[in-house]
């Protein structure tokens, strides 16, 4: 029973909401020079293996797509959150507008959110990337998102998130409106928190589940072993009396490779579950990796997460942003939400969320610009 309890804590902890940091040098406002407006569409993807075995209410992979549209097409302001109770400022969008014909093909980035979050909670990043010429597809991971009740399986089977992304990639490439306009030689992945772990799996990293469980059972266990989203589970931290056959089979495959060879570079923000990786976990990672996190992250502590990953993956580029906390990498909160939801919205003295977002966008654009370069005309 203790082992199962730790598995829950591990999964929950591994999926931090976000990582952020303050910088004395503020990045430029990338939106002011972005060449495109931002289009948005929703796709309901029905994979061959339904995700409702995780206990999730939604079988489909609900996927948000951001993409470039002509600057002449007007955008509409919006807020993000429950109807009547918005939490975040949203980037203005042109819903279902046609993809800009300025280019024949665009690079594609798949996006993975943090534990208990949603693709929309990273709207600030996805919109900025789309405004700069990327198609971005972000899935809401079943059983582990803010749009439906969280499930035990959704929390503990982290490696299954990589299969969500690969399914989304299959479908976006076949999409009647978008597929023909995607440059299949320029596909990358970006993730936050547990989503950062997810994109590392897509790059070829392998999970050592026992190592993580042992860490969380030891005196060295830290905040990653008991993420705040655990409290949103119907039974709290209590594991079921027995696992389903599907769950048992999935756990037996936790150490498998979930590498998707179509993905050529990954950018991980505040990556979680560093203690689930060992000295051999990154042996099959041969694509460029960029890591970014804040030094004041208390949800995914840097020492056991980004710094451990960087130590095991010496070829990765690493940016530590001084003074930032985990949730700074979520969307910018509305004024009322700063007061009503301080856990998500309060970044601490001297930390400017918008400035850190701009810095992250600048970093991501530089990284993907170098690793997914456009072919010479």
How many helices (H) and strands (E) would you count in the chain?
11, 10
Q: Report the alpha-carbon distance of residue 56 to residue 299 in Å, rounded.
A: 25
Please tell me the chain's helix, strand, coil percentages from 3-state DSSP, rounded to the nearest 5.
35, 20, 45
30-74, pLDDT tens digit by residue?
455 899 999 999 999 999 888 888 888 888 999 999 999 999 999
Q: What domains sit in the chain, N to C, each tagged with a CATH number?
A: 2-371 (3.40.50.1820)
335-349, pLDDT tens digit by residue?
989 888 998 998 988
Dihedral of the CA atoms 126, 306, 167, 134 (nearest 10)? 30
**For all residues of the chain together, what is the average pLDDT?**
89
pTM > 0.85: yes or no: yes
287-296, pLDDT tens digit by residue?
999 999 999 9
Residue 10 confidence class, pLDDT cut points 50, 70, 90: very low
**How confident is the model at residue 2, as a pLDDT?**
26
Residue 26 confidence class, pLDDT cut points 50, 70, 90: very low
The answer to whether 40 touches 93, Cβ cutoff 8 Å, is yes
């Amino acid at each position: 029973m203790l082992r199962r309890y730790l598995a829950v804590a591990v999964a929950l902890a591994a999926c931090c909401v976000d990582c952020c940091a303050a910088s004395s040098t503020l990045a430029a406002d990338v939106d002011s020079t972005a060449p495109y407006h931002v289009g948005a569409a929703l796709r309901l993807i029905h994979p061959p293996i339904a995700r409702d075995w995780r206990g999730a209410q939604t079988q489909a992979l609900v996927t948000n797509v951001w993409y470039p549209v002509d600057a002449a097409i007007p955008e509409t302001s919006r807020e993000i959150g429950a109807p009547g109770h918005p939490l975040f400022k949203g980037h203005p969008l042109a819903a279902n507008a046609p993809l800009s014909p300025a280019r024949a093909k665009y690079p594609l980035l798949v996006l993975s959110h943090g534990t208990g979050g949603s693709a929309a909670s990273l709207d600030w990043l996805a919109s900025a990337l789309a405004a700069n010429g990327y198609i971005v597809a972000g899935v809401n991971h079943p059983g582990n998102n803010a749009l439906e009740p969280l499930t035990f399986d959704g929390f503990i089977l982290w490696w299954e998130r990589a299969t969500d992304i690969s399914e989304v990639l299959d479908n976006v490439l076949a999409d009647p409106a978008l597929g023909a306009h995607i440059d299949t030689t320029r596909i990358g992945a970006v993730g936050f928190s547990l989503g950062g772990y997810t994109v590392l799996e897509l790059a070829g990293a392998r999970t050592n589940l026992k190592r993580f469980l042992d860490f969380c059972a030891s005196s060295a266990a830290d905040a990653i072993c008991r993420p705040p989203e655990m409290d949103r589970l119907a039974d709290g931290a209590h594991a079921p009396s027995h696992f389903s056959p599907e769950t048992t089979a999935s756990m037996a495959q936790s150490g498998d490779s979930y590498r998707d060879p179509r993905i050529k570079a990954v950018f991980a923000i505040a990556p979680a579950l560093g203690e689930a990786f060992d000295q051999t976990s990154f042996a099959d990672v041969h694509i460029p990796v960029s890591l970014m996190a804040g030094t004041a992250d208390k949800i995914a502590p840097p020492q056991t997460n980004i710094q451990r990953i960087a130590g095991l993956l010496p070829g990765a580029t690493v940016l530590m942003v001084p003074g930032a906390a985990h949730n700074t990498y979520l969307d910018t909160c509305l004024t009322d939400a700063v007061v009503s939801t301080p856990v998500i919205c309060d970044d601490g003295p001297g930390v400017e969320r918008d400035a850190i977002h701009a810095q992250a966008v600048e970093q991501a654009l530089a990284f993907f610009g170098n690793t997914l370069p456009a072919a010479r005309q």
